[in-house]
Structure 1
Amino acid sequence: MTASPLPFPASGGDLRREGLTVFVRGLEIEAGIGVYDHEHGRLQRLVIDVTLTLDPHGVEKLADTVNYETVATAARLIAGSGHVGLVETFAERLATTCLEDVRVRRAVVRIEKPGALQGAAAPGCEVILARHDA
């Protein structure tokens, strides 16, 4: 381990990595989404939060972790693949896609659909998927 450039006293012991989380918050995309007739043939704004839990390990280079752009690209590809009826379906597809990376142990995908419910800031859903061995 390299010496800290910060003026803090040494920890005096070994450190144990207990967690590694990668997240994307507030990703805004336009998607064809909704079950009602008036929702077909138009795009609606979604605000997406993704939190990925990885096994704790050292990260020195991009290849050691999950790239934020990969998560954003996956969301955009799902949106571009055609109309999706429910935000729950969209969230599950995104979580499943994130879990295709074997380093990801758990994926939490929260999607807000602003404007879908009058009087509410943002209705939506949260889907949590994890590996059986996680």
Structure 2
Amino acid sequence: MSNRQGVSSPGAPATEKARDIGRDCIFVKDWVIDCNIGVYAEEKGVTQKVRLTVDAYLAPELRASGDDMDTVPSYTDIIDAVNERTAEGHINLIETLAEDVAARVLGDARIAAIRVRIEKLERGPVRGVEIYRTRADAVR
């Protein structure tokens, strides 16, 4: 679960890499789902495949203790957040889906930051969005 070498993508800015070094992370990588998403008329009323990668960085002081799943967040929490949001109905923008998933996961005080990457896989070239949010970003 811990990645002491850094968890940022190779092209991430140096400040972003420094922020992530030493941070434990739970993740869901390259999860392909059918999603009712898109702003164009031909995208409404149908599903299309999207690929999600979500990295949720744990609060710095958080550690698993006693081999007890209840002491740390689970990647299942990420999966549940995606499933709950997509079950609510049509989403126009993948940016909206990314923001909603980030907000839901950051609702757990044990999560300090999150990176959400969503890619549309159909109806043209692979395209998408990636966001990085911290707990401070979630405070409104």
TM-score > 0.5 by shorter chain: yes
Normalised by the length of structure 2, the TM-score is: 0.76
Q: Is the counterpart of residue 49 in structure 1 residue 53 in structure 2?
A: yes
- Select the structure of larger CA radius of gyration: 1
Q: CA RMSD in A?
A: 1.7
Q: Residues 24-67 of structure 1, C-alpha deviation per residue, up to 9 Å, x if partnerless? A: 10112111100000100001111100001112332132112211
Q: Is the counterpart of residue 131 in structure 1 residue 129 in structure 2?
A: no
**Counterparts of residues 2-81 of structure 1 (less than 5 Å):** 18-56=22-60, 57-59=62-64, 60-81=67-88
- The alignment-based identity, stated in percent, is 31
Unaligned runs of 5+ in 2: 1-21
**Is this contact kept in 2: 1:109–1:127, CA < 8 A?**
yes
Q: Residues 98-117 of structure 1, C-alpha deviation per residue, up to 9 Å, x if partnerless? A: 00000000011000110232
More helix by share: 2
Normalised by the length of structure 1, the TM-score is: 0.79
Q: Residues 91-134 of structure 1, C-alpha deviation per residue, up to 9 Å, x if partnerless? A: 000000000000000011000110232xx3x200011111229x
